[in-house]
A and B are shown apart, each in its own frame.
Chain A
Amino acid sequence: MAAAMGEIEDKLAELRQTFRSGITKSGAWRKNQLRALIELLQDNEDKIFKALHQDLGKHPVETYRDEIGLIKKSAKYALSCLDKWMAPKKRRLPLLFFPASGEVVSEPFGVVLICSAWNFPINLALEPLIGAIAAGNTVMLKPSELAVECASFLAETIPLYLDCKAIKVTNGGVDVCEQLLQQKWNKIFFTGSPRVGSIVMSAAAKHLTPVTLELGGKCPAILDTLSSPLDIKVTVKRIIGGKFASCNGQVCVGVDYILVEKKFAATLIESLKTTIKKFYGENPKDSKSISRIINEYHFERLRKLLKDPLVADAIVHGGLLDKENLFIEPTILLDPPLDAEIMTEEIFGPILPIITLNNIQESIEFINSRPKPLAIYAFTKDETFKKQIVSGTSSGSLIFNDTLVQQLCDVLPFGGVGQSGIGRYHGHYSFETFSHEKAIMQRSFFLELEPRYPPWNDFKMKFLRLAYDFDYFNLLLLLLGLKR
Chain B
Amino acid sequence: MGSEEETKKKNEVFDAEAASLFVKELRGTFASGKTKSYGWRVSQLKSLMKMLNEREPDIVDALRQDLDKPELESSIYEVALLKTSIKSALKELKHWMTPEKAKTSITTFPSSAEIVPEPFGVVLIISPWNYPFLLSLDPVVGAIAAGNALVLKPSEVAPASSSLLAKLVGEYMDLSSIRVVEGAVAETSALLDQKWDKICYTGNSRVARIVMAAAAKHLTPVLLELGGKSPVVFDSGINLKVACRRMIMGKWGCNNGQACISPDHIITTKDYAPKLLESLKNELENFYGKNPLESKDLSRIVNSNHFARLSKLLDDDKVSGKIVHGGERDKNKLRIAPTLLLDVPRDSLIMSEEIFGPLLPILTVDKIEDSFDIINSGTKPLAAYLFTNNKKLKQQFVETVSAGGLVINDTAVHLAVHSLPFGGVQESGMGAYHGKFSFDVFSHKKAVLSRGFIGDVPVRYPPYTKGKLRLLKVLISGSLLGIIRALLGWSKA
Interface residues of A (CB under 8 A from B): 25, 59-62, 64-65, 69-70, 72-73, 76, 91-94, 97, 102, 104-105, 107, 109, 186, 194, 197-198, 201-202, 204-210, 213, 215, 228, 230-231, 234-235, 237-238, 240-241, 245, 279-281, 287-290, 368, 386, 390-391, 394-402, 405-406, 408-414, 417-419, 421-424, 436-446, 448, 452-456, 460-461, 464-465, 468-470
24 contacts between A and B (CB under 8 A): A61-B465, A61-B472, A64-B476, A72-B477, A104-B420, A197-B219, A198-B217, A205-B209, A208-B224, A279-B462, A280-B462, A368-B31, A396-B446, A399-B451, A408-B108, A409-B108, A414-B447, A440-B408, A442-B407, A445-B239, A448-B242, A452-B249, A454-B72, A455-B287
Nearest CB on A from B299, distance (A)? 12
Query: A441 contacts B445, CB within 8 Å?
Result: no
- Determine the residue in chain A with the shortest Cβ distance to B476: A69
Query: B449 contacts A241, CB within 8 Å?
Result: no
Of the residues A70, A102, A215, contact of B419 by C-beta under 8 Å: A102
Say whether, besides A280-B463, A390-B116, A398-B447, A409 and B105 are in contact (CB < 8 Å): yes
Query: B245 contacts A453, CB within 8 Å?
Result: yes
Query: A65 contacts B460, CB within 8 Å?
Result: yes
Say whether, besides A69-B473, A461-B72, A464-B72, A290 and B445 are in contact (CB < 8 Å): no
Query: B447 contacts A396, CB within 8 Å?
Result: yes
Query: A394 contacts B398, CB within 8 Å?
Result: no
Nearest CB on A from B319, distance (A)? 27
Residues of B within 8 A of A288 (CB): 463-464
Of the residues A25, A186, A234, contact of B426 by C-beta under 8 Å: A186
Residues of A within 8 A of B419 (CB): 91-93, 102
- Determine the residue in chain B with the shortest Cβ distance to A107: B402
Say whether, besides A412-B102, A468-B416, A456 and B70 are in contact (CB < 8 Å): yes
Task: A399-B448, A411-B113, A439-B405 are known; give 16 further A-B pairs, CB within 8 A.
Answer: A61-B469, A69-B472, A92-B419, A202-B217, A204-B216, A205-B216, A208-B205, A210-B430, A396-B446, A400-B450, A418-B197, A441-B420, A442-B409, A454-B70, A455-B287, A468-B416
Query: A436 contacts B219, CB within 8 Å?
Result: no
**Highest count of chain A CB atoms <10 Å: which of B394, B431, B476:** B476
A-facing residues in B411-446 (Cβ within 8 Å): 413-414, 416-417, 419-422, 425-427, 429-432, 444-446
Query: A105 contacts B398, CB within 8 Å?
Result: yes
Residues of A within 8 A of B218 (CB): 198
Nearest CB on A from B200, distance (A)? 14
Query: A208 contacts B462, CB within 8 Å?
Result: no
Query: A70 contacts B219, CB within 8 Å?
Result: no
Query: B242 contacts A289, CB within 8 Å?
Result: no
Count of chain B residues with Cβ under 8 Å from any Cβ of A? Answer: 106
Residues of B within 8 A of A439 (CB): 404-406, 414, 420-422, 432
Give the number of residue pairs across the A-B interface with Cβ within 8 Å: 302
Q: A263 vs B297: C-alpha distance in the bound complex, in angstroms?
A: 76
A-facing residues in B55-108 (Cβ within 8 Å): 70-72, 75-76, 80-81, 83-84, 102-105, 107-108
Which 7 A-B residue pairs are closest in the complex by CB-CB distance?
A: A61-B464, A289-B462, A201-B216, A205-B212, A439-B405, A69-B476, A439-B420
Interface residues of B (CB under 8 A from A): 31, 36, 70-72, 75-76, 80-81, 83-84, 102-105, 107-108, 111, 113, 115-116, 118, 120-121, 197, 205, 208-209, 212-213, 215-219, 221, 224, 226, 238-239, 242-243, 245, 248-249, 253, 286-289, 295-297, 389, 394, 398-399, 402-410, 413-414, 416-417, 419-422, 425-427, 429-432, 444-454, 456, 460-465, 468-469, 472-473, 476-478
Residues of B within 8 A of A400 (CB): 448-451
- Determine the residue in chain A with the shortest Cβ distance to B427: A208
Q: A109 vs B404: C-alpha distance in the bound complex, in angstroms?
A: 11
Say whether, besides A241-B460, A464-B80, A102 and B420 are in contact (CB < 8 Å): yes
Of the residues B105, B208, B253, B406, contact of A438 by C-beta under 8 Å: B406
Say whether, besides A64-B472, A215-B219, A413 and B463 are in contact (CB < 8 Å): no
Q: A237 vs B243: C-alpha distance in the bound complex, in angstroms?
A: 69
- Determine the residue in chain A with the shortest Cβ distance to B450: A400
Residues of B within 8 A of A107 (CB): 402
Residues of B within 8 A of A105 (CB): 398
Query: B107 contacts A408, CB within 8 Å?
Result: yes
Nearest CB on B from A429, distance (A)? 9
Query: B408 contacts A441, CB within 8 Å?
Result: yes
Q: A440 vs B243: C-alpha distance in the bound complex, in angstroms?
A: 18
Q: A156 vs B45: C-alpha distance in the bound complex, in angstroms?
A: 57
Residues of B within 8 A of A109 (CB): 425-426
**Highest count of chain A CB atoms <10 Å: which of B83, B453, B460:** B453
Query: A198 contacts B216, CB within 8 Å?
Result: yes
Nearest CB on B from A377, distance (A)? 10
Nearest CB on B from A441, distance (A)? 4
Query: A97 contacts B417, CB within 8 Å?
Result: yes
Nearest CB on B from A238, distance (A)? 8
- Determine the residue in chain A with the shortest Cβ distance to B408: A442
Q: A399 vs B450: C-alpha distance in the bound complex, in angstroms?
A: 6
Query: A94 contacts B432, CB within 8 Å?
Result: no
Say whether, besides A204-B212, A368-B31, A441-B410, A455 and B297 are in contact (CB < 8 Å): yes
Residues of A within 8 A of B429 (CB): 208
Nearest CB on B from A453, distance (A)? 6
Of the residues B71, B102, B452, contact of A409 by C-beta under 8 Å: B102
**Highest count of chain B CB atoms <10 Å: which of A279, A439, A469:** A439
Query: B75 contacts A461, CB within 8 Å?
Result: yes
Q: A240 vs B216: C-alpha distance in the bound complex, in angstroms?
A: 35
Residues of B within 8 A of A228 (CB): 453
Of the residues B102, B108, B216, B463, contact of A281 by C-beta under 8 Å: B463
Say whether, besides A107-B402, A438-B403, A442-B408, A208 and B476 are in contact (CB < 8 Å): no
Q: A209 vs B208: C-alpha distance in the bound complex, in angstroms?
A: 11
Q: A190 vs B402: C-alpha distance in the bound complex, in angstroms?
A: 24
Nearest CB on B from A412, distance (A)? 4
Query: B72 contacts A94, CB within 8 Å?
Result: no
Query: B447 contacts A397, CB within 8 Å?
Result: yes
Nearest CB on A from B139, distance (A)? 18
Residues of B within 8 A of A104 (CB): 420-421
Query: A438 contacts B465, CB within 8 Å?
Result: no
Query: A465 contacts B80, CB within 8 Å?
Result: yes
Nearest CB on A from B103, distance (A)? 6
Say whether, besides A61-B465, A70-B476, A464-B80, A194 and B449 are in contact (CB < 8 Å): no
- Determine the residue in chain A with the shortest Cβ distance to B429: A208
Residues of A within 8 A of B103 (CB): 411
Nearest CB on A from B137, distance (A)? 15
